[in-house]
């Protein structure tokens, strides 16, 4: 082995060396339907105003560490309960990392628990922070297996349960009563993180219920709302709990350009909500047309994507790639997702291109 091989073996954790990196494919020249992005830009006049706003940002100084003005806008626009605050992150990925860093134990192994399948960063972050990860398979219709969830909580006593609401990659909303039962099962010995990344499309939330559930954290991102490029996430919880996570948050973790862009967008959040409503209309059309195709099963979704089971997922994905349409192949992620692909709901034009390419792949 070379010097560098030995150096890496002697210094980098074995589990990190064995880990595969998070691969993001190059989407240049493709219709990009694999990442649940909002396909609509801000109107031209708003883009011009935003450009002027960004030109005035002082980039030679660090951000104000409190992010007071941005947090005030988030609280005012996003339904944060009175007396509650938010913690900001570089997307929800950093928020998950902050939570896990604060919860990882030095005296014993801590456990993170989540349903399977769900957002891959729940497991990835847990393992990178040295915690054990326990997944509980959902039922065949992708609803929570509550007896199994409650039994796993009782057995493993997780410091945190992550629950996507609605779930990624399945798109369905967990039953509200089940969410409450999980919070109650965690009690004072563990947290429940409700990940509401797709709240602009689901139009349902536990944010307003935070005062009733002291062990609950509601986490969101502006990415799905239409601001994926600025990388801003936020989470709210009981003030005493949030203060502990603030100790872990890196200083200056949100840059001044992101802060200015987010404040501007939140001042015009009605435009983004209208775009989300248009995407929900397209979701309904896409569901209807996909359901009419032979051999295709479409699952209910409250998000801006659809989970679709096709006769041959690999063949379908290859054909779509040849037609320059990028979707997500989930068929190798276990038996529950056998034959499944995930497609982002996009503009009417891009959805039609996807539909035509899919029909060709099925012939």
Q: In the predicted model, is pLDDT for residue 66 greater than 90?
A: no
User: CATH assignment of 61-267?
Assistant: 3.40.640.10
Q: Tell the residue number behind the tokens 């967008």, with chain if given.
A: 265
Lowest mean pLDDT among 27-41, 71-85, 89-103, 232-246: 27-41
Confidence band (pLDDT; 50, 70, 90) for 363? confident
Q: Rounded to a whole number, what is the distance in angstroms from the first to the last CA of the chain? A: 51
The pLDDT mean for the chain works out to: 95
**Which of these, 5, 75, 6, lies nearest to 218 by C-alpha position?**
75
Q: HSE (CB half, 13 Å, CA atoms) of 246? A: 14
Residues 164 and 302 sit within 8 Å (Cβ to Cβ): no
pLDDT at residue number 22: 75
Angle at 243 between CA 241 and CA 249, to 5 degrees: 115
* H or E element that contains 88: strand 86-89
pLDDT at residue number 157: 97
Peptide bond into 166 cis (omega under 30): yes
pLDDT in tens, 121-146: 999 999 999 999 999 999 999 999 99
Buried/exposed 316-337: b ≥16 CB within 10 Å, e otherwise: bbebbeebebbbbbbbeeeeeb
Q: What is the pTM of this model?
A: 0.95
pLDDT in tens, 149-180: 999 999 999 999 999 999 999 999 999 999 99
Confidence band (pLDDT; 50, 70, 90) for 27? confident
Confidence band (pLDDT; 50, 70, 90) for 65? confident
* Domain boundaries of the chain, sorted by first residue: 16-42+270-362, 61-267
Task: For the chain, give the percent of residues with pLDDT over 70.
Answer: 100
pLDDT in tens, 173-201: 999 999 999 999 999 999 999 999 999 99
In whole angstroms, what is the distance from residue 207 CA to residue 276 CA?
19
Q: Which two tokens stand for residue 119?
A: 């957002």
Phi, psi of 326 (to 5 degrees): -105, 120
pLDDT at residue number 278: 97
User: CATH assignment of 16-42+270-362?
Assistant: 3.90.1150.10
pLDDT at residue number 185: 98
Confidence band (pLDDT; 50, 70, 90) for 20? confident
Q: In the predicted model, is pLDDT for residue 25 greater than 80?
A: no
Q: In the predicted model, is pLDDT for residue 23 greater than 80?
A: no
Confidence band (pLDDT; 50, 70, 90) for 71? very high
Do 61-267 and 16-42+270-362 have the same topology in CATH? no
Q: In the predicted model, is pLDDT for residue 21 greater than 80?
A: no
């Amino acid at each position: 082995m070379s010097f560098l091989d030995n150096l890496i073996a002697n210094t980098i954790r074995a589990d990190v060396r064995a880990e595969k990196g998070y691969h993001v494919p190059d989407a240049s020249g493709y219709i990009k339907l694999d990442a649940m992005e909002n396909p609509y830009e801000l109107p031209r006049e708003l883009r011009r105003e935003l450009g002027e706003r960004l030109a005035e940002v002082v980039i030679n100084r660090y951000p104000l560490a409190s992010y007071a003005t941005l947090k005030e806008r988030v609280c005012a626009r996003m339904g944060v309960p009175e007396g509650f605050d938010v913690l900001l992150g570089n997307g929800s990925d950093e928020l998950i990392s902050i939570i896990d860093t604060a919860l990882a134990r030095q005296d014993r192994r801590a456990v993170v628990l989540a349903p399977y399948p769900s957002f891959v960063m729940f497991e990835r972050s847990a393992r990178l922070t040295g915690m054990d990860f326990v997944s509980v398979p959902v039922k065949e219709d992708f609803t929570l297996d509550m007896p199994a969830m409650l039994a796993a909580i009782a057995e493993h006593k997780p410091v945190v349960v992550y629950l996507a609401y609605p779930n990624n990659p399945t798109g369905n909303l967990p039953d509200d009563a089940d969410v409450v039962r999980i919070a109650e099962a965690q009690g004072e010995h563990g947290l429940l993180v409700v990940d509401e990344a797709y709240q602009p499309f689901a139009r349902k939330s536990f944010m307003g219920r935070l005062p009733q559930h002291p062990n609950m954290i509601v986490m969101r991102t502006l990415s799905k709302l239409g601001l994926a490029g600025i990388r801003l996430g936020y989470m709210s919880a009981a003030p005493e709990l949030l203060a502990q996570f603030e100790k872990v948050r890196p200083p200056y973790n949100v840059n001044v350009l992101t802060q200015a862009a987010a404040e501007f967008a939140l001042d015009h959040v009605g435009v983004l909500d209208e775009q989300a409503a248009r995407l929900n209309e397209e979701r309904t059309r896409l569901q209807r047309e996909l359901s009419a195709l032979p051999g295709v099963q479409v699952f209910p979704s409250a998000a801006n994507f659809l989970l679709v089971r096709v006769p041959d997922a690999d063949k379908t994905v290859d054909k779509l790639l040849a037609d320059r349409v990028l979707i997500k192949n989930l068929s190798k992620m276990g038996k529950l997702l056998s034959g499944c692909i995930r497609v982002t709901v996009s503009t009417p034009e891009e959805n039609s291109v996807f539909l035509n390419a899919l029909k060709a792949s099925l012939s």
